[in-house]
Amino acid sequence: MQQATPLPHFPQFPEPELQRELREHGQLRRFRAGDIVQEAGRYVRMVPLIVSGSLKVSRPAEDGSELFLYYLEPGESCTMTFSCCLADRPSEVHAVAESDTTILVLPRRVIDEWMPRYRSWRNFVLTSYDRRLRELVRTIDDVSFHQLDDRLLGYLRKRGQLSPDGTVHASHREIAEDLHVSREAVSRLLKGLERHGRVILARNRISLREL
DNA sequence: ACATTAAGTGATT
DNA sequence: AATCACTTAATGT
């Protein structure tokens, strides 16, 4: 039986029948900040729909480090999951709950089954591919063409937006790992930003002063 | 008080 | 920009 609390609303799926199916086949899962949601190399059996919170997706490197790729935010699903489910291959990325996060998980067969049946679902899947592909391309040219200071600012902005208080909760080491640079480089850049009043630093805390 | 972890910085490559 | 070496500051036990 389902609880009194109505399952989260996904306005992008207007068809009542689809809403009903979401309710019927979906299962709510909660993760606390830091929980591993998907390990790289493991097979994916479920399709996640982010209800609240966010997931941090990164690409593990050979040497055990990771390069941050993107966040999954409410209303989104994971394109990588679609790919993996359709091709029946293990995940190539790693997902960790960035904050406390609620996800609606669906059995993977729904990807195929709902595509021809529900226009909004089909649109959702395709749009998801489109968006993620664009974002990945952006990440690539970010890495190859942008200077570290720009990358750092972009990173802080994104993380700031996701944080309820607009403050990035992370150590310099953690940021350095995400951006694949040395911790010292991050420390020095942040210090510089602080001198210019662009940022307020505290231990494990960075608040960006935009505008 | 002591140990551990985070951050700041100069020097070297 | 990476690495090393070292210092200083904040936090945990």
Tokens at A61, concatenated:
């490197």
pLDDT at A164: 87
Tell me which DSSP letter residue A91 carries. -
Q: Is the CB of A169 under 7 A from strand C?
A: no
CA atom of A186 to C1′ atom of C11, Å: 22
**Nearest nucleotide (C1') to alpha carbon of A185:** C1
Q: Per DSSP, which regions of chain A are E strands?
A: 27-31, 36-38, 46-52, 55-60, 66-72, 94-97, 101-107, 167-168, 199-202, 205-208
pLDDT attached to residue A172: 97
List the A193 CA – C12 C1' distance (angstroms): 29
Taking the C-alpha atoms of residue A139 and residue A132, their distance in angstroms, rounded to an integer, is: 10
By DSSP bridging, strand A205-208 and strand A167-168 are antiparallel
What's the pLDDT at A183?
A: 97
pTM of the model: 0.75
Q: Is the distance between the Cβ of A105 and the closest atom of strand B smaller than 7 Å?
A: no
A5 CA, B11 C1': Å apart: 62
The C-alpha atoms of residue A159 and residue A157 are separated, in whole angstroms, by 5
Q: Is the CB of A147 under 7 A from strand C?
A: yes
- A57, A72 contact by CB (below 8 A): yes
Protein-covered nucleotides of chain B (CB closer than 7 Å) are 5-11
Hey, is A207 helix, strand or coil?
strand
A201 touches strand C (CB under 7 A): no
How much is the pLDDT for A116? 94
A152, closest nucleotide (Cα–C1') = C1
pLDDT at A2: 45
**pLDDT value at position A5?**
47
AA identity, residue A112: D
- Structure-token match 């909660």, residue found: A30
Separation CA A201–CA A36 (nearest Å): 28
Residue found by looking up tokens 């990035």 in the block:
A168
Task: Phi first, then psi: give them for residue A129, nearest 5 degrees.
Answer: -60, -50
CA to C1' distance (Å), from A146 to C6: 32
Q: Mark the ranges of chain A whose per-residue pLDDT is less than 70.
A: 1-9, 211
